[in-house]
């Protein structure tokens, strides 16, 4: 995977800092390869990358997720609870785009995480990782349908 390797070395971090918008576009294209977005759309969201803390926050987050640094101690109890992966006891519909290029589990593995009524939907049509923007109708319908499960 591209991201974890990037954040293990200082020179790569400096490269990320210098090319953060280019990297964001690359990740967006990998995660949602068929999502058509123009430069104006990208620029509206890319302002977040100009935050002076952006690189430090992103790097720390990935290092924490990889277990390379400790988290915030005040959240240790919550982390322990989440690590136990409690079963979700609410009607649920999980969604996956058929062109999701982001690393993710096989949707079959999700079923055991839910004790109530459950359905999974794979959204066809070249839909990637960002379902609310790439398939807003299907996303909204799943929310409505979950209420009726």
pLDDT in tens, 70-111: 888 999 999 888 888 889 999 999 999 999 988 888 888 888
Q: What is the band of 61 on the pLDDT scale with cuts at 50, 70, 90? A: confident
Compute CA distances 72 → 65, 68, 79, 85, 89, whole Å. 12, 13, 10, 19, 28
Mean pLDDT of 129-145: 95
Mean pLDDT of 25-54: 87
Length of the chain (residues)? 149
Strands (E), the chain: 92-97, 118-123
Is residue 35 pLDDT above 90, yes or no?
no
Is residue 3 pLDDT above 60, yes or no?
no
Residue 20's contacts (CB-CB under 8 Å, 6 or more residues apart) are 49, 54, 55
DSSP code, position 94: E
């Amino acid at each position: 995977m591209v991201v974890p390797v990037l954040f293990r070395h200082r020179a790569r971090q400096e490269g990320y800092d210098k090319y953060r918008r280019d990297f964001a576009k690359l990740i967006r294209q990998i995660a949602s390869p068929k999502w058509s977005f123009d430069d104006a759309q990208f620029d509206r969201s890319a302002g977040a990358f100009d935050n002076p803390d952006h690189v430090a926050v992103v790097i720390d987050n990935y290092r924490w997720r990889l277990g390379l640094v400790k988290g915030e101690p005040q959240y240790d109890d919550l982390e322990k609870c989440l690590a136990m992966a409690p079963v979700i006891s609410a009607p649920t519909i999980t969604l996956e785009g058929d062109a999701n290029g982001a690393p993710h589990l096989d949707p079959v593995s999700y079923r055991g995480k839910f004790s109530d009524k459950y359905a999974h939907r794979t959204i066809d049509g070249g839909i990637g990782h960002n379902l609310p923007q790439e398939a807003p109708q299907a996303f909204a319908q799943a929310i409505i349908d979950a209420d009726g499960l």
